[in-house]
């Protein structure tokens, strides 16, 4: 029986593990955290359930959607696309792709933005998110709708970030440039009332969310299937050595015990892999986040599922309503508010997050999500040390260099998830990629290139 060790019990690792056990492989999944799921986990406080930020599956990718539905097995609900962006005291729906919403911007910003759009660089020169945003939308729109929200979350200058960072942070930049004539045409259509077929409805896809619990239900169902088919999942485990011979991994030492293996599938941090070999690489940094999970009495004051907070003066980057994803995530007559506050490990927000509770409540009141009379029964604080990967301009060459090192040392070591450079991709993409890589091993029984 072929033996496989999978490192990382997030969705990518568990999806790959399930593919292997379904084909008779002897599988061990190793997770250093005390729980599975990574960022795809939920927090429980009595009758309240909160996810780590916003997590739901979009349905635009048919292959991924069919697979997700097969795992959830009727245990899901469909959610309409109810997300908003908060800027200058206004709630907008995808303003970079929806002219109806763009025209809601304050008149000075709208006029300045349209002028800058007409004068924007005709060619995109360079590889930074800042340059890309200017070439797409002009300086003013890019500053407020791309640069400010991204820099707020990762606390890096957009001049030093790769354009992929926009997609990672739910800043919805399309893959094509809009010409001046196209923009004028859209303005005319809007004035004639024919934008979006004249019905004003969003063309976004519906979202999938588990019906029986928080978002972690998906990874727990994956783990259950892995175990049912004989797979082993070790949590709180540490890998201390990877032994190679003749260009192949032959064993992995887990918690002091050496396990022989035919394949090693790595979805964890690439730095951890390189350290086991005594190597250093240019790592992809990550930003941290503080979650303020509020138990609030009464009904939500908005019907949005989540809100991206683009207003620079406010502390949070995003607010979500767990009980709007699933009513049972809060008890009757209550709802939950999950507030994401970006930070860096070691700064004041990270060290003393409790000192910002009043500021969080104040900003929620400014946004109209709390009132002066709203009763907040409790506020739970969670530190998330690796919330978002930060994508420097050269992140792709960094990942490629690491992949080449891996392939030279071990032809039977396969990278998936963030380790394979899927850091700028949606979770559906990571799931599909993990399945395909596992299937290639199963079908060919030969080394799978990692570059």
| CATH code: domain of residue 29 | 3.50.50.60
pLDDT of residue 290: 98
Structural domain contains residue 422: yes
- In the listed set 137, 163, 198, which residue is the last one of a domain according to the structure? 198
What are the backbone dihedrals phi and psi of residue 281, each rounded to the nearest 5 degrees, phi first?
A: -130, 165
- Largest Cα separation within the chain, whole Å, is 71
State residue 407's pLDDT score: 87
Q: Which two tokens stand for residue 293?
A: 């999970």
CA dihedral 399, 130, 309, 347 (to 10 degrees): 60
Alpha helices (H) in 259-356, listed in sequence order: 270-276, 322-325, 348-351
pLDDT value of position 418: 77
Any domain includes 449: no
Query: What CA–CA distance (Å, rounded) separates 234 from 309?
Result: 38
CA angle 233, 288, 302 (to 5 degrees): 95
Specify whether 295 is located in the same domain as 418.
no
- 221/259 same-domain check: yes
Q: Which pLDDT score is estimated for 293?
A: 98
Reading the chain (451 residues) residue by residue, the pLDDT tens digits are 899 999 999 999 999 999 999 999 999 999 999 999 988 999 999 999 999 977 788 888 889 999 999 999 999 999 988 889 999 899 998 777 777 788 888 899 999 999 998 888 766 666 799 988 888 888 999 899 889 999 998 889 999 999 888 775 555 444 444 444 444 444 434 333 333 333 333 335 688 999 999 999 999 999 999 999 999 999 999 999 999 999 999 999 999 999 999 999 999 888 889 889 988 877 788 889 999 999 999 999 999 999 999 999 999 999 999 999 999 999 999 999 999 999 999 999 999 999 999 999 999 999 999 998 899 999 999 999 988 888 899 988 888 888 889 889 999 999 998 777 666 556 788 899 999 999 999 987 644 444 3
- pLDDT at residue 206, as a whole number: 83
Q: Are 246 and 303 in a shared domain?
A: no
- Number of domains making up the chain: 3
Does residue 104 lie in a domain region? yes
Q: Report the 10 Å Cβ neighbour count for 73.
A: 9
Q: Are 30 and 69 within one domain?
A: no
Judgement on whether residues 376 and 295 belong to the same structural domain of the protein: yes
Q: What's the CATH code of the domain at 329?
A: 3.90.660.20
The answer to whether residues 301 and 243 belong to one domain is no
| Assigned domain for 260 exists | yes
Q: How would you classify residue 101: left for phi > 0, otherwise alpha for psi between -120 and 50, otherwise beta?
A: alpha
Whether 228 and 316 map to the same domain: the answer is no
């Amino acid at each position: 029986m072929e033996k496989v060790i999978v490192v990382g019990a997030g969705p990518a690792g568990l999806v790959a593990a399930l593919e292997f056990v379904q084909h008779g492989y002897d599988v061990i999944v190793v997770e250093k955290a005390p729980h599975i799921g990574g960022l795809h986990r939920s927090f429980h406080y009595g009758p309240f359930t909160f996810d780590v930020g916003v997590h739901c599956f979009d349905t635009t990718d048919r292959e991924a959607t069919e697979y997700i539905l097969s795992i959830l097995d009727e245990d899901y609900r469909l959610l309409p696309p109810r997300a908003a962006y908060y800027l200058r005291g206004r709630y907008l729906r995808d303003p970079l792709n929806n002219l109806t919403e763009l025209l809601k911007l304050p008149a000075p910003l709208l006029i300045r933005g349209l002028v800058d759009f007409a004068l924007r660089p005709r060619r995109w020169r360079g590889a930074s998110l800042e340059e890309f945003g200017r070439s797409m939308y002009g300086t003013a729109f890019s500053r407020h709708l791309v640069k400010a929200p991204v820099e707020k979350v990762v606390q890096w200058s957009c001049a030093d970030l790769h354009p992929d960072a926009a997609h990672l942070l739910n800043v919805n930049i399309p893959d094509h440039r809009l010409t001046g004539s196209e923009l004028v045409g859209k303005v005319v259509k809007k004035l004639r009332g024919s934008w979006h077929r004249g019905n004003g409805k969003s063309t976004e896809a519906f979202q999938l969310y588990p019906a029986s619990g928080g978002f972690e239900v998906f990874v727990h169902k994956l783990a259950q299937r892995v175990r049912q088919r004989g797979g082993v999942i070790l949590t709180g485990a540490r890998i201390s050595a990877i032994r190679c011979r003749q260009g192949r991994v032959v064993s992995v030492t887990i918690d002091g015990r050496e396990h022989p293996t035919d394949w090693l599938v790595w979805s964890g941090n690439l730095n951890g892999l390189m350290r086991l070999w005594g190597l250093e690489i240019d790592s992809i940094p990550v930003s941290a986040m503080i979650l303020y999970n509020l138990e609030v009495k009464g009904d939500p004051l908005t019907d949005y599922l989540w809100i991206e907070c683009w207003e620079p003066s406010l502390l949070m980057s995003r607010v979500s309503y767990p009980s709007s994803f699933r009513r049972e995530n809060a008890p009757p007559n209550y709802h939950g508010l999950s507030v994401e506050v970006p930070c860096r490990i070691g700064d004041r927000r990270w060290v003393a997050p409790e000192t910002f509770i009043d500021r969080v409540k104040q900003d929620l009141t400014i946004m109209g999500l709390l009132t002066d009379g709203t009763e907040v029964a409790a506020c739970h604080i969670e530190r998330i040390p690796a919330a978002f990967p930060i994508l420097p301009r050269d992140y792709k060459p960094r990942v490629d260099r690491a992949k080449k090192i891996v392939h030279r040392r071990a032809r039977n070591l396969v990278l998936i998830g963030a380790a394979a450079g899927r850091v700028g991709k949606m979770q559906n993409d990571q799931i599909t990629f993990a399945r395909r890589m596992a299937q290639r091993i199963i079908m060919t029984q030969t080394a799978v290139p990692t570059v």
